[in-house]
Amino acid sequence: MDPGFIAAAILVIAVMAAISAIRIFREYERGVVFLLGRFQKVTGPGLVVIVPGLQKVIRVDLRTVVLEVPTQDVISRDNVSVKVSAVIYFRIIDAKNSVIEVKDYLNATSQLAQTTLRSVLGKHQLDDMLAEREKLNTDIQAALDSQTSGWGIKVSNVEIKQIDLTESMIRAIARQAEAERERRAKIIHAEGELQAADKLMQAAEILSRQPQALHLRYLETLTVIGADKNTTVIFPLPMDLIGHLLKKEGQ
């Protein structure tokens, strides 16, 4: 065999081995290095050289992952069935554990988020789901984070996207809201009547202490009624007012 050919082949193999030994990790990436199957170190970012055949490196992305949780059927504490969808935000903070402690951290986190969503929301009533969404987000986030911390994963935020109700439940809520509005309207009307009665009672007490003021109010009312020329009004005169006039004529 030609020695030149052998030298060229060796050179090609050496170049290929050198290329396969070089890894370049971006700023948001880390490499988990195993030596003969045992964990050795976490390396990166930048240029990393490994020994082919002896070392193996697994690339891990440290950026925040946005994971959409599929719509879940949830039964609330007051036995109302709803469909809830959510989205979670998490990132890897320990590259070693994300590789060693869990096989597929994305799928594991997704499955855990689905069960946690059903578990946490099932402890609350429907009114709480609709009115206290921020608190529920915090509860789900805390529950998830406590379980994923062993995988080297930090759940930073959870957002409930949508809560879908059945048509019958929507109609029931609408009827409840209408009844609540009617109740408030009646209370406001009753409070207005009470205030008006109180003011009328105060006015009556003031007028009773000053009979002349009552006569002036009576005459003012006659003036207002007489402004409409097309209306015929029979208005009784108070006897005390007529009595004063009769006394003057008798004198």
* Numbered ranges of CATH 3.30.479.30 in the chain: 65-165
pTM greater than the 0.95 cutoff: no
At 145, which helix (H) or strand (E)? Answer: helix 133-148
pLDDT in tens, 168-223: 666 666 666 677 777 888 888 888 888 888 877 777 776 666 666 666 666 666 66
CATH superfamily of the domain spanning 65-165: Band 7 domain (3.30.479.30)
pLDDT in tens, 56-91: 999 999 999 999 998 888 888 888 888 889 999 999
Greatest alpha-carbon span in the chain: 160
Token pair 């930073």 is at which residue? 156
Peptide bond before 45: cis, by omega within 30 degrees of 0?
yes
Taking all residues of the chain, what is their mean pLDDT, rounded to a whole number? Answer: 80
Distance CA 14, CA 54 (A): 16
Q: Which residues pair with 43 in a beta bridge?
A: 31
Token pair 């700023």 is at which residue? 27
Q: In the predicted model, is pLDDT for residue 16 greater than 60?
A: yes
Question: What is the token pair recorded at 4?
Answer: 């030149």
What pLDDT does 168 receive? 63
Which DSSP category does 228 fall into?
Answer: -
How many other C-beta atoms can be found within 10 angstroms of the C-beta atom of residue 168? 8
Which DSSP category does 226 fall into?
Answer: H
Token pair 């370049």 is at which residue? 24
Which residues neighbour 173 within 8 Å (Cβ) at sequence distance 6 or greater?
165
Distance CA 143, CA 119 (A): 10
